[in-house]
Amino acid sequence: MPSGLHVVVADDEALARERVRNLLNNFADVTIVAECVNGAETIEAVEAYRPALLILDVQMPEMDGFAVLDALGSGLRPAGVVFVTPMIITHSPRLT
């Protein structure tokens, strides 16, 4: 496996994974070792690759990000976890 920071990206939305991938591709020492679309895939990828960083969607079908972390337990949980989620703004005084 390549050296550097190994990352697993977990999000059920393809566009969200693409945006994260595009951001991380700006860093030569970052390697995305897996992209996952649900909790079960995420757990399998973390077990297989032992990444230093997990970028994890809060809201995924069947198993949300918090359930993924619970299932991993402290022994498998990566050193870094970044939660991501889409933000829907219905009304903001700053935008009017």
Q: Where are the domains of the chain?
A: 9-95
At 31-57, the pLDDT tens digits run 999 999 999 999 999 999 999 999 999
Fold of 9-95: Rossmann fold (3.40.50)
Residue 48 and residue 34 in contact, taking contact as beta carbons nearer than 8 Å: yes
At 52-92, the pLDDT tens digits run 999 999 999 889 999 999 999 989 999 999 999 876 545 54
**DSSP of 7-50:** EEEE-S-HHHHHHHHHHHTT-TTEEEEEEESSHHHHHHHHHHH-
